[in-house]
Amino acid sequence: MTAKQTHITICICTFKRPDLLKKLLDKLVHQRTDNLFSYSVVIVDNDRNGSARQVVQSFQEASDLEVRYFLEPEQNIALARNRGVENAQGDFVAFIDDDEFPGSEWLLNLYSDCSRFDSEGIIGPVKTHFDENCPRWLVKANMCERTSHPTGTVMRPHQTRTGNVLLKRAIFDDPDNRFEREYGRTGGEDVWFFSKVIEKGRVFVWCDEAPVYEAVPPERWKASYYFRRSVRMGGLSGEEVRTRGLKKSTAKTFAALCIYTAMLPFTILFGKHLFIRYLAKSAYHFAWFSGYLGLVPIRLRDD
């Protein structure tokens, strides 16, 4: 008797990005499997008007790749992720964002390392892809890059995310292992999910050979976007430390605020990229104290 082939469901949560979604679907058609697994796609449209429906229908008509479409009318990324999980089939669930695109060996490398390290899931890097018209200051500021790790590194909760991840579907057999609704508008629902399951003994490992590439759209070419993002993240982090009683040195945070703020006037001499970078850092630490004291300046995400 032939053994049943492993199957992976790729979950994509999308919100008003039809062009980027089409680019991602076109890339997913060409994933290498080396006959180790099969895969299909579940798309959860988080726009109540169904702005992704036409893109998905056109793709379904032109491609042999199985793609299923679902609508989550309440704008909440946690609910969208949960709907994707509930409709996933097979042995593994992969998440990739609608503004990202992978290379042809992305899924194969995630799957191979999940087997090699015998982990509950594998997390890969998200690298920035700049359009040729993107402002040079943004490229030089290095504000979009994320930290990478050596392959095999065991992830701690604050190092996790769902932009590029492969998870054993059995994790979700426990109905408590879901993304928290309350963080679906502010962000951080992925870190909360991983924190919860890691506390239960699940282990997640890094795979540096399975990158995806995140497009930086024109709406993120403005300095105001990064300023607001820093204020939101800082305020929420400070609030989390206060409400959960986490151990965090307020003295170190205050020192960082003073240092970054004091250096701001001098960074102007070295270019806009450095000034914006340090302004964002100062804003983060100022908002952190604000959140720690009970006032979160910006709570909801811009996108």
Read off the CATH number of the domain in which 47 is found.
Answer: 3.90.550.10
- In tens digits, the chain (303 residues) has pLDDT values of 345 789 999 999 999 999 999 999 999 999 999 999 999 999 999 999 999 999 999 999 999 999 999 999 999 999 999 999 999 999 999 999 999 999 999 999 999 999 999 899 999 999 999 988 999 999 999 888 888 999 999 999 889 999 999 999 999 999 999 999 988 888 889 988 999 999 999 999 999 999 999 989 888 999 999 999 999 999 988 888 888 777 777 888 899 999 999 999 999 999 999 999 999 999 999 999 999 999 999 988 776
My answer on whether 155 and 118 are in the same domain is yes
My answer on whether 69 and 197 are in the same domain is yes
| Residue 6, C-beta contacts closer than 8 angstroms, at least 6 positions apart | 36, 37, 38, 90, 91, 92, 111
Please spell the DSSP secondary structure of 17-82, one letter per residue. -HHHHHHHHHHHTT---TTSEEEEEEEEE--TT-TTHHHHHHHHHH-SS-EEEEE--S--HHHHHH
Q: Is the dihedral of CA 229, 230, 231, 233 positive or negative?
A: positive
Predicted model pTM? 0.89
Tokens at residue 118, please?
Answer: 């015998």
My answer on whether 156 and 178 are in the same domain is yes
227 and 279 Cβ atoms separated by less than 8 Å: yes
My answer on whether 50 and 173 are in the same domain is yes
- pLDDT value of position 132: 86
- pLDDT value of position 49: 96
My answer on whether 238 and 192 are in the same domain is no
Choose one of 184, 219, 254: the last residue of a domain. Answer: 219
Query: Which residue range forms the structural domain that includes residue 20?
Result: 6-219
My answer on whether 161 and 235 are in the same domain is no
| Residue 133, C-beta contacts closer than 8 angstroms, at least 6 positions apart | none
